[in-house]
Protein backbone atom coordinates (compact mmCIF):
# COMPACT_ATOMS: atom_id res chain seq x y z
CA UNK A 1 0.00 0.00 0.00
CA UNK A 2 1.34 3.48 -0.85
CA UNK A 3 2.21 5.90 1.93
CA UNK A 4 -0.09 8.84 2.84
CA UNK A 5 2.04 11.34 0.89
CA UNK A 6 1.68 9.27 -2.28
CA UNK A 7 -2.02 8.69 -1.67
CA UNK A 8 -2.61 12.43 -1.32
CA UNK A 9 -0.59 13.15 -4.46
CA UNK A 10 -2.47 10.51 -6.44
CA UNK A 11 -5.85 11.84 -5.30
CA UNK A 12 -5.02 15.44 -6.24
CA UNK A 13 -3.46 14.38 -9.56
CA UNK A 14 -6.55 12.36 -10.47
CA UNK A 15 -8.79 15.32 -9.57
CA UNK A 16 -6.67 17.57 -11.79
CA UNK A 17 -6.70 15.23 -14.77
CA UNK A 18 -10.41 14.40 -14.41
CA UNK A 19 -11.45 18.01 -13.72
CA UNK A 20 -13.23 17.18 -10.51
CA UNK A 21 -12.99 18.68 -7.03
CA UNK A 22 -13.01 17.58 -3.42
CA UNK A 23 -13.86 19.47 -0.23
CA UNK A 24 -10.40 18.76 1.17
CA UNK A 25 -7.92 15.95 1.43
CA UNK A 26 -9.11 13.17 3.78
CA UNK A 27 -8.02 13.92 7.34
CA UNK A 28 -5.47 11.11 7.39
CA UNK A 29 -3.83 12.46 4.22
CA UNK A 30 -3.78 16.16 5.03
CA UNK A 31 -0.35 17.81 5.29
CA UNK A 32 0.21 19.56 8.60
CA UNK A 33 3.08 21.79 7.52
CA UNK A 34 4.25 23.60 4.41
CA UNK A 35 7.06 21.05 4.10
CA UNK A 36 4.59 18.16 4.07
CA UNK A 37 2.58 20.04 1.44
CA UNK A 38 5.66 20.38 -0.75
CA UNK A 39 6.38 16.67 -0.34
CA UNK A 40 2.93 15.87 -1.77
CA UNK A 41 3.47 18.40 -4.56
CA UNK A 42 6.76 16.70 -5.47
CA UNK A 43 5.01 13.35 -5.74
CA UNK A 44 2.40 14.95 -8.01
CA UNK A 45 5.13 16.19 -10.31
CA UNK A 46 6.47 12.64 -10.58
CA UNK A 47 3.19 11.66 -12.23
CA UNK A 48 4.13 13.89 -15.18
CA UNK A 49 5.90 12.20 -18.08
CA UNK A 50 7.89 15.36 -18.93
CA UNK A 51 10.82 17.16 -17.29
CA UNK A 52 9.76 20.02 -15.06
CA UNK A 53 9.15 23.24 -17.01
CA UNK A 54 9.50 25.61 -14.08
CA UNK A 55 7.87 27.18 -11.05
CA UNK A 56 5.08 29.56 -10.11
CA UNK A 57 4.43 31.77 -7.12
CA UNK A 58 0.93 32.14 -5.72
CA UNK A 59 -0.34 34.77 -3.28
CA UNK A 60 2.23 37.47 -4.02
CA UNK A 61 -0.03 40.31 -2.89
CA UNK A 62 -1.60 41.04 0.50
CA UNK A 63 -5.04 40.91 -1.12
CA UNK A 64 -4.30 37.53 -2.67
CA UNK A 65 -3.00 36.18 0.63
CA UNK A 66 -6.08 37.40 2.46
CA UNK A 67 -8.35 35.88 -0.19
CA UNK A 68 -7.00 32.37 0.33
CA UNK A 69 -6.24 32.80 4.06
CA UNK A 70 -2.46 32.38 3.97
CA UNK A 71 0.25 34.52 5.55
CA UNK A 72 2.76 34.45 2.70
CA UNK A 73 3.53 33.30 -0.84
CA UNK A 74 3.32 29.68 -2.00
CA UNK A 75 5.50 27.92 -4.59
CA UNK A 76 4.13 25.55 -7.20
CA UNK A 77 5.44 23.57 -10.16
CA UNK A 78 4.77 24.36 -13.83
CA UNK A 79 4.27 21.10 -15.71
CA UNK A 80 5.45 21.08 -19.30
CA UNK A 81 2.25 19.49 -20.62
CA UNK A 82 0.29 22.42 -19.18
CA UNK A 83 2.34 25.11 -20.95
CA UNK A 84 0.57 26.77 -23.89
CA UNK A 85 2.38 28.73 -26.63
CA UNK A 86 1.71 32.44 -27.09
CA UNK A 87 -1.45 32.85 -29.14
CA UNK A 88 -2.56 29.30 -28.38
CA UNK A 89 -5.82 27.88 -27.08
CA UNK A 90 -6.97 26.46 -23.75
CA UNK A 91 -10.03 24.36 -23.05
CA UNK A 92 -12.04 26.06 -20.30
CA UNK A 93 -13.40 22.74 -19.07
CA UNK A 94 -14.56 22.68 -15.45
CA UNK A 95 -12.33 25.58 -14.37
CA UNK A 96 -13.35 26.56 -10.86
CA UNK A 97 -11.38 29.77 -10.31
CA UNK A 98 -12.28 31.26 -13.72
CA UNK A 99 -9.56 33.93 -13.84
CA UNK A 100 -6.46 34.85 -15.84
CA UNK A 101 -3.39 36.57 -14.44
CA UNK A 102 -0.74 38.75 -16.13
CA UNK A 103 2.74 37.94 -14.82
CA UNK A 104 6.45 38.67 -15.19
CA UNK A 105 8.32 35.43 -15.92
CA UNK A 106 12.07 34.74 -15.76
CA UNK A 107 14.08 32.00 -17.44
CA UNK A 108 17.20 30.94 -15.57
CA UNK A 109 20.55 30.85 -17.33
CA UNK A 110 22.48 29.39 -14.39
CA UNK A 111 21.37 26.78 -11.83
CA UNK A 112 21.02 27.89 -8.21
CA UNK A 113 21.53 24.96 -5.81
CA UNK A 114 20.54 24.99 -2.14
CA UNK A 115 22.90 26.86 0.14
CA UNK A 116 23.11 27.70 3.83
CA UNK A 117 22.70 31.46 3.53
CA UNK A 118 19.82 33.05 1.60
CA UNK A 119 20.52 34.21 -1.93
CA UNK A 120 20.39 37.95 -2.42
CA UNK A 121 18.20 39.39 -5.15
CA UNK A 122 21.35 40.53 -6.96
CA UNK A 123 22.78 37.00 -6.91
CA UNK A 124 19.55 35.60 -8.27
CA UNK A 125 19.31 38.20 -11.05
CA UNK A 126 22.86 37.38 -12.12
CA UNK A 127 21.60 33.86 -12.85
CA UNK A 128 18.66 35.00 -15.03
CA UNK A 129 18.87 34.64 -18.81
CA UNK A 130 15.82 36.65 -19.87
CA UNK A 131 12.36 37.95 -18.98
CA UNK A 132 9.02 37.11 -20.63
CA UNK A 133 5.46 38.39 -20.50
CA UNK A 134 3.20 35.58 -19.32
CA UNK A 135 -0.38 34.63 -18.50
CA UNK A 136 -1.34 32.11 -15.86
CA UNK A 137 -4.73 30.39 -15.77
CA UNK A 138 -4.85 28.98 -12.22
CA UNK A 139 -7.34 26.52 -10.76
CA UNK A 140 -7.90 24.50 -7.62
CA UNK A 141 -8.89 20.94 -6.93
CA UNK A 142 -10.78 22.06 -3.80
CA UNK A 143 -14.40 23.17 -3.73
CA UNK A 144 -13.49 26.13 -1.50
CA UNK A 145 -9.81 26.89 -1.90
CA UNK A 146 -10.12 29.90 0.41
CA UNK A 147 -10.58 27.68 3.49
CA UNK A 148 -8.22 24.70 3.25
CA UNK A 149 -5.04 26.51 4.37
CA UNK A 150 -1.47 26.82 3.08
CA UNK A 151 -0.27 23.19 3.47
CA UNK A 152 -3.19 21.80 1.44
CA UNK A 153 -2.90 24.58 -1.16
CA UNK A 154 0.80 23.80 -1.57
CA UNK A 155 -0.03 20.10 -1.91
CA UNK A 156 -2.45 21.09 -4.68
CA UNK A 157 0.49 22.63 -6.57
CA UNK A 158 -0.33 26.15 -5.40
CA UNK A 159 -3.37 26.26 -7.71
CA UNK A 160 -1.34 25.61 -10.87
CA UNK A 161 -3.32 24.77 -14.00
CA UNK A 162 -2.29 26.30 -17.37
CA UNK A 163 0.56 28.66 -18.21
CA UNK A 164 1.12 30.77 -21.33
CA UNK A 165 4.66 31.96 -22.05
CA UNK A 166 5.27 34.87 -24.40
CA UNK A 167 8.42 35.57 -26.38
CA UNK A 168 11.64 36.80 -24.74
CA UNK A 169 11.65 40.54 -23.98
CA UNK A 170 13.16 42.36 -26.96
CA UNK A 171 14.81 45.04 -24.78
CA UNK A 172 17.53 45.07 -22.11
CA UNK A 173 15.24 44.41 -19.20
CA UNK A 174 17.96 44.85 -16.58
CA UNK A 175 17.86 48.61 -17.23
CA UNK A 176 14.15 48.81 -16.45
CA UNK A 177 12.54 49.56 -13.10
CA UNK A 178 10.25 46.55 -12.81
CA UNK A 179 8.68 47.99 -9.64
CA UNK A 180 6.96 50.74 -11.61
CA UNK A 181 6.69 48.84 -14.89
CA UNK A 182 3.07 48.70 -16.04
CA UNK A 183 1.07 45.81 -17.46
CA UNK A 184 -2.33 45.98 -19.08
CA UNK A 185 -4.68 43.00 -19.16
CA UNK A 186 -7.70 42.69 -21.41
CA UNK A 187 -10.35 40.04 -21.89
CA UNK A 188 -12.46 40.30 -25.05
CA UNK A 189 -15.70 38.32 -24.80
CA UNK A 190 -17.37 36.57 -27.72
CA UNK A 191 -19.90 39.42 -27.98
CA UNK A 192 -17.12 41.98 -28.37
CA UNK A 193 -17.35 43.51 -24.89
CA UNK A 194 -14.16 43.79 -22.87
CA UNK A 195 -12.83 43.79 -19.33
CA UNK A 196 -9.56 45.68 -18.86
CA UNK A 197 -7.31 46.08 -15.83
CA UNK A 198 -3.92 47.68 -15.17
CA UNK A 199 -1.19 46.69 -12.76
CA UNK A 200 2.45 47.32 -11.93
CA UNK A 201 5.39 45.24 -10.78
CA UNK A 202 5.12 46.60 -7.26
CA UNK A 203 2.01 44.45 -6.80
CA UNK A 204 4.23 41.34 -6.91
CA UNK A 205 5.78 41.18 -3.42
CA UNK A 206 6.90 44.78 -3.92
CA UNK A 207 9.11 43.84 -6.89
CA UNK A 208 8.92 40.79 -9.21
CA UNK A 209 12.71 40.46 -8.89
CA UNK A 210 12.35 40.08 -5.14
CA UNK A 211 9.57 37.56 -5.73
CA UNK A 212 11.98 35.54 -7.87
CA UNK A 213 14.55 35.65 -5.06
CA UNK A 214 11.87 34.49 -2.61
CA UNK A 215 11.18 31.47 -4.83
CA UNK A 216 14.87 30.59 -5.05
CA UNK A 217 15.24 30.74 -1.28
CA UNK A 218 12.02 28.79 -0.69
CA UNK A 219 13.41 26.01 -2.89
CA UNK A 220 16.80 26.24 -1.21
CA UNK A 221 15.15 25.71 2.20
CA UNK A 222 13.60 22.53 0.78
CA UNK A 223 16.89 21.25 -0.64
CA UNK A 224 15.70 21.87 -4.22
CA UNK A 225 17.80 23.34 -7.05
CA UNK A 226 16.36 25.89 -9.46
CA UNK A 227 17.88 24.63 -12.70
CA UNK A 228 19.17 26.53 -15.69
CA UNK A 229 16.48 26.62 -18.37
CA UNK A 230 13.59 26.53 -15.91
CA UNK A 231 11.03 29.34 -16.00
CA UNK A 232 9.68 31.10 -12.91
CA UNK A 233 6.44 33.07 -13.15
CA UNK A 234 6.20 35.49 -10.26
CA UNK A 235 2.49 36.04 -9.63
CA UNK A 236 -0.15 38.38 -10.93
CA UNK A 237 0.63 42.07 -11.16
CA UNK A 238 -3.02 43.06 -11.60
CA UNK A 239 -6.38 42.04 -10.19
CA UNK A 240 -7.18 38.71 -11.88
CA UNK A 241 -9.31 38.95 -14.99
CA UNK A 242 -12.59 36.97 -15.14
CA UNK A 243 -12.67 34.47 -18.01
CA UNK A 244 -15.28 32.30 -19.75
CA UNK A 245 -15.44 30.12 -22.86
CA UNK A 246 -15.02 32.16 -26.04
CA UNK A 247 -12.78 34.80 -24.46
CA UNK A 248 -9.52 36.19 -25.83
CA UNK A 249 -7.09 37.04 -23.03
CA UNK A 250 -4.25 39.50 -23.71
CA UNK A 251 -1.51 40.94 -21.51
CA UNK A 252 0.53 43.91 -22.71
CA UNK A 253 3.79 44.61 -20.88
CA UNK A 254 4.85 47.52 -23.08
CA UNK A 255 8.48 47.26 -24.17
CA UNK A 256 8.69 43.78 -22.59
CA UNK A 257 6.16 42.45 -25.10
CA UNK A 258 2.66 41.02 -25.30
CA UNK A 259 1.14 37.59 -24.82
CA UNK A 260 -2.30 36.16 -25.53
CA UNK A 261 -4.41 33.01 -25.30
CA UNK A 262 -7.92 32.07 -26.39
CA UNK A 263 -10.29 30.23 -24.05
CA UNK A 264 -12.40 27.58 -25.77
pLDDT of residue 210: 98
DSSP-assigned beta bridge partners for residue 133: 104
Residues in contact with 128: Cβ distance below 8 Å, sequence separation at least 6, in sequence order: 106, 107, 108, 109, 212
Q: List, in order of start, the domains of the chain with CATH numbers.
A: 4-263 (3.90.850.10)
Average pLDDT over the chain reads 97
Reported as a single tens digit per residue, the pLDDT across 221-234 is 999 999 999 999 99
Q: What is the DSSP string of 28-67?
A: GG--SSHHHHHHHHHHHHTT-SS-EEEEEEE--SHHHHHH
Q: Is the pLDDT of residue 237 over 60?
A: yes
Instruction: Show the 3-state SS of 106-166.
Output: EEECCCECCCCCCCCHHHHHHCEEEEEEEEEECCCCECCCCCCCHHHHHHCHHHCCEEEEC
Over range 19-37, report the average pLDDT.
98
pTM (predicted TM-score): 0.97
Beta strand pairing call for 52-58 and 231-236: parallel
pLDDT of residue 1: 54
Reported as a single tens digit per residue, the pLDDT across 115-142 is 999 999 999 999 999 999 999 999 999 9
User: Taking the mean position of all CA atoms in its chain, how far away is CA 7?
Assistant: 24
Over range 44-59, report the average pLDDT.
97
3-state class (DSSP) for residue 207: coil
Amino acid sequence: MSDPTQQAADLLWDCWMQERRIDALPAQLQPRTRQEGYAIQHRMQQRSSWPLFGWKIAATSKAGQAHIAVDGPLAGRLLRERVIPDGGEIQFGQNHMQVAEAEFAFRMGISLPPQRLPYTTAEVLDAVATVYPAIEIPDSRYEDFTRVGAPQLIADNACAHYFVLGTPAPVEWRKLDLVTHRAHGRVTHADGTTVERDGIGQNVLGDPRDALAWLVNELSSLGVTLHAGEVVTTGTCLIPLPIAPGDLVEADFGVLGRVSVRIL
